[in-house]
Amino acid sequence: MISDSERLEVRPALRSATGTLSVVVLTYKRPHLLASVVPELLEQLHQLDAASGITSDLLIIDNDPDESGRAAAEPFLTEGVRYVTEKRRGIAAARNRALDETADRDLIVFIDDDERARSGWLVRLAEVYTESRPTAVMGRVISEYPHGTDPWVVAGDFLHRPRHRTGDTLTIAATNNLLLDRAEIDRLGLRFDETLGLSGGEDNLFTRQLVSRGGRILWCDEAVLDDEWPAERLQRRWLLHRSFSHGNTAAVVDALMAPPGAQRTGVRIRRAAGGAGRVVLGLGRWAVGTVTGDLRHRARGQRGVYRGVGMMSGAVGRVYQEYARREQLS
C-alpha cells in the first residue's frame, strides 16, 4: 500500500491540471478482491489529489444482481466512493453503465477488481494525458507466475502481454488499465457492444472504433498494474479454452469492423484461412515438441491450434461465450 506521505516527482503539465476524474472498478462475485483493491485505489486518488488540481473519486460497478460486493464496498462509501449495481448481464453492460454514471466527468479510468496498482499508477496515466491530450491512455499490466505453476503453462507463455514505449501510439487496447477522455468518447459516439457482453472482445472493438473514428490511444509504460491469477485459472484446460476464446473474438471483431456485404465476407474468409494456417503450424510445432521432448514447442503448438480453431469458428459467425463459461466455473 502507498503511504499518504509519499510524494512523486510530477511533470509541470500535471501540476497545473484541473478537472474531474473517476476510477471505475468492475466486479462480479468477488467481494474478497473488492475489499482489498478499494483501499489501495483510494491511496491512488490521494496521490493524484496531491500531485494536481484534478478532483478524483471512485466508482464501483457490481455486475451481480444479488449485490455480492455491497458488503465489501459499504465501509468505504464516503463522499468520494460510489457503489452501483448493473443488473444487465455481461461486462459490456457494466462498462456502459460506467459511461452513463460518469457522463459529467472529464476523465475515467477502468481497472478490474483482481488488479493491484503500483505506486504512481494513476499519476502516470494522468501525466501522459495532460501532456498530449489523446483520447485514451493505456498502461502496462504485468502477470507473474506464482511459485509452483505447471512448467507447461510457463513454457507456453500464456500470460504474455505486449509492451511499448511511453508515448507510442496504439491501434487497439484492453480496458483493464485504460484512461478515457469522456467528452471525446461522446463526440466519437462510442459505446461498448453488448452483444459481446458474455464473449469478451468488447474492449477491442471499442478501441478499434475509437481509432477508426479519429481518436488516439497512447501507451504509458510507467502506469503499472499487477494482475493476480488464481491457481484454478493457471491450468492447461482453462488456458487453452482462453486461447480459443481470444482467437474467436479476434475474428468476430474483425468482421464487425468491416462494412456488411462483400467486404465483411472477405474478412471472414481471410480470418478462416488465417485460423487454418495457425492450426497447421501449431500441429507441426506440437509434433516437434512431442518428438524432441521440448516443452516450449509442445505448449505453444497447442496454444496455436486452439487459437486457430477459435479464429475459424469466429470467422463463420460463432461467438464463444467466454464469460458464461467463467460463471459456470466460479
Residue 225: C-alpha distances to residues 42, 90, 161, 330 (Å): 15, 23, 12, 23
Residues 141 and 188 reside in one and the same domain = yes
Residue 45: C-alpha distances to residues 54, 71, 92, 126 (Å): 10, 22, 25, 11
Let me know if residue 1 belongs to a domain: no
Given a cut of 70, whether residue 32 has pLDDT beyond it is yes
Residues 202 and 297 reside in one and the same domain = no
Domain termination residue (choose one: 201, 231, 261): 231
Residues 247 and 205 reside in one and the same domain = no
pLDDT at 8: 81
Residues 243 and 173 reside in one and the same domain = no
Domain termination residue (choose one: 213, 231, 249): 231
Confidence of residue 329 (pLDDT cuts 50, 70, 90): very low
Expressed as residue numbers, the domain containing 305 is 236-329
Residues 86 and 28 reside in one and the same domain = yes
Residues 273 and 299 reside in one and the same domain = yes
For residue 23, give the CATH number of its domain. Answer: 3.90.550.60
Cα 288–Cα 291–Cα 294 angle in degrees, nearest 5: 70
**Which residues, listed in sequence order, are joined to residue 57 by a DSSP beta bridge?**
22
Cα torsion at 185, 189, 195, 201 (round to 10°)?
-40
pLDDT at 330: 45
Let me know if residue 93 belongs to a domain: yes
- Tell me which residue has cell 497545473: 16
pLDDT tens digit string along 125-157? 999 999 999 999 999 999 988 888 999 999 999
Tell me how many helices (H) and strands (E) the chain has: 12, 9
Given a cut of 70, whether residue 325 has pLDDT beyond it is no
pLDDT > 70: percent of the chain:
95
pLDDT tens digit string along 17-27? 999 999 999 99
pTM confidence score: 0.92
Residues 320 and 278 reside in one and the same domain = yes
Domain termination residue (choose one: 176, 203, 231): 231
Please give the tally of structural domains in the chain: 2
Residues 183 and 272 reside in one and the same domain = no
Residues 17 and 59 reside in one and the same domain = yes
Let me know if residue 4 belongs to a domain: no
Q: Which of the residue ranges 9-13, 29-33, 57-61 would you say has the lowest mean pLDDT?
A: 9-13
- Tell me which residue has cell 504509458: 220
Let me know if residue 251 belongs to a domain: yes
